[in-house]
Amino acid sequence: MKHVIDEALLRRFDIPGPRYTSYPTADRFVEAFTERDYIQALEQRRAGSMALPLSVYVHIPFCESLCYYCACNKVVTKHHSRAAEYLRYLTRELELQTGYVGRGHRVSQLHLGGGTPTFLSDDELADLMAMIRRHFELVPGGEYSIEVDPRTVTAERLAHLQRLGFNRLSFGVQDFDPTVQKTVHRVQPAAQVFALVAAARELGFESINVDLIYGLPQQTPESFRHTLEQVERLRPDRIAVYAYAHLPARFKAQRRIIAAELPSPADKLAMLSLALDHLSAAGYVYIGMDHFALPNDALAVAKRQGRLHRNFQGYSTQPDCDLIALGVSAIGRIGATYSQNAKTLEEYYDALNQGRLPIVRGLALTRDDLLRRSVIMAIMCQGLVDFESINLAHLIDFRSYFARELEELRALQAVGLVRIDDTHLEVTPTGWYLVRAIAMVFDRYLQVDQDRARFSKII
């Protein structure tokens, strides 16, 4: 199937907008939400008899070298001794959190992100997992994943990760082209990645993900085609194909990228189209926005069965979960609240030294927030909003409550991005290119704040 899109649509709708890993988005968090509010949410969860399932996210900020495209919260250092200190503070934070929410909760999803989680030594990773298991019960059959920089692991280290209980790996590849790798300061030979993926398969990891980025400096549609062809031979279970967001005013590392070397919007669109064409032809299911999976992967199964969800790590098979987030800058969700930790190690350590949780901002969601979150996540995950289901869940009349939004969607319907009838809103195949623009129609915060320059562009 050949994926095409009119360039006039690109010019019209390729605007800055959120990725909607949450709604409201993290830029709406406020400092008025404090540690006290978060503790109250934890205590309410502990008292509740029908608590949501629980996930755990741990942020490891350290990297040995700087990747110029990176927008993550990171600390670039070659001093591995800093990891031991960080782990001591993670332990303090977890002890404080479980003091309020209670120990022994069943956890079905754990993710280590960064930074570079494999910056930690084998012993440090073992200590971290032992600490998590002292406080939570990692249930059989859960998803336990870790982000892996191919430059920092060997087959022996992968075997160690498996022994620790990890069953899913995410390799940061970004691009196989040597020129692009050199330009973004992340050189990793393709042979190295192929050998590690082969070792992971031999070890029996349940799912292997590869991350790619399109829109990097020196990338062209032709060079990206070669990367896609190599990824097809690699055949990971899942592939994430992210659009590079060039925001040098926000992310200092990106100031090393020469803007003139970035591909044009038309070339970026061509790369997205190539990804859709190549990966669909190779048998991958397009999950949505930036994710692909083999048909028998749990993510593709969840998409077929209408069980797909979206959280701060992207698309997920796990049901709507409360999320305990640990580490500097980590974002959590408990009940109808979001919270974020301090963004610098100094602030993070200082709060814990005072016996406080390092919460610096967050948000208590309103009834309208919860309603709009349901609609936006239905668009992002299923590409389908059933009006009656929303009516029953939130005790509203969809067509009356969202009369303004439905009127605005007429313009998107006229150009073939959505289909709307009396009972449903559905994203069309073309609309999936611009699904963020469709979701943005329901974002109440954007309706009153048209300053969208802080977001990446949709394509």
Mean predicted confidence (pLDDT) in 398-416? 96
Please say if the pLDDT value at position 456 is more than 90.
Answer: no
Lowest mean pLDDT among 73-82, 138-147, 352-361, 442-451: 442-451
Check residue 433 and give its pLDDT.
78
Q: Which residue has the higher pLDDT, 458 or 198?
A: 198
pTM over 0.85, yes/no: yes
For domain 26-324, the CATH class is alpha beta
Please give the pLDDT value at position 190: 95
How much of the chain is helix, strand and coil, in % rounded to 5? 45, 20, 35
Given a cut of 80, whether residue 16 has pLDDT beyond it is no
pLDDT band at 79 (very low <50, low <70, confident <90, very high): very high
Q: Binding residue per annotation — 186? A: yes
pLDDT tens, 154-203?
A: 999 999 999 999 999 999 999 999 999 999 999 999 999 999 999 999 99
- According to the annotation, is 115 in a ligand binding site? yes
- Residue 21 marked ligand-binding: no
Q: In 68-135, at which residue ranges do the beta strands (DSSP E only) sit?
A: 75-76, 105-114
The residue ranges of every structural domain in the chain are 1-24+367-459, 26-324
d(CA 362, CA 203): 40
Across 52-61, 211-220, 367-376, 417-426, least confident range:
52-61
- The Cα 236–Cα 293 span in angstroms is 8
pLDDT at 7: 66
CA atoms of 155 and 241, how far apart (whole Å): 25
Confidence of residue 309 (pLDDT cuts 50, 70, 90): confident
pLDDT tier, 52 (very low <50, low <70, confident <90, very high otherwise): confident
- 72 labelled binding-site residue: no
- 147 known member of a binding site: yes
Residue 75's CB is within 10 A of a number of other CB atoms, namely 17
Q: Is 132 annotated as a binding residue?
A: no
d(CA 308, CA 318) in angstroms, rounded, equals: 8
Residue 112 tokens, joined: 């280590």
Neighbours of 50 (CB within 10 A): 4
- 63 in a known ligand binding site: yes
For residues 171 and 150, the answer to whether their CB atoms sit within 8 Å is: yes
Percent residues over pLDDT 70 in the chain: 95
d(CA 12, CA 434): 11
User: What one-character DSSP code corresponds to residue 319?
Assistant: P
**pLDDT, position 231:** 97
Q: Is 17 annotated as a binding residue?
A: no
Check residue 306 and give left, alpha or beta (phi > 0: left; psi -120 to 50: alpha): left
438 is in an annotated binding site: no
Mean predicted lDDT score pLDDT of the chain: 92
Q: In this predicted structure, what is the pLDDT of residue 317?
A: 84
**Residue 91 among known ligand-binding residues:** no
Q: What is the pLDDT of residue 241?
A: 93
Question: Annotated binding residue at 82?
Answer: no
| Average pLDDT estimate for 316-325 | 86
Q: What are phi and psi of 227, to 5 degrees?
A: -60, -45
Q: Which CATH class is domain 1-24+367-459?
A: mainly alpha
Q: What is the DSSP string of 280-299?
A: HHTT-EEEETTEEE-TTSHH
Task: Kindly give the pairing relationship between strand 105-114 and strand 136-148.
Answer: parallel
Asked whether residue 357 carries a pLDDT value surpassing 70, the answer given is yes
Is 67 known to sit in a ligand binding site? Answer: yes
The pLDDT of residue 450 is above 60: no
Q: What span, in angstroms and rounded, lies between the C-alpha atoms of 444 and 252?
A: 30
pLDDT at 132 over 80: yes
The whole-angstrom separation of Cα 91 and Cα 210 is 30
- Could you read off the pLDDT of 420-434 as tens digits, one per residue? 999 999 999 888 878
Q: What pLDDT score does 308 carry?
A: 87
Residue 83 annotated as part of some ligand binding site: no
Q: Which two tokens stand for residue 433?
A: 């290119």
d(CA 212, CA 231): 9
pLDDT for 432: 82
Question: Does residue 331 have a known ligand-binding role?
Answer: yes
Ligand-binding site membership of 321 (annotated): no
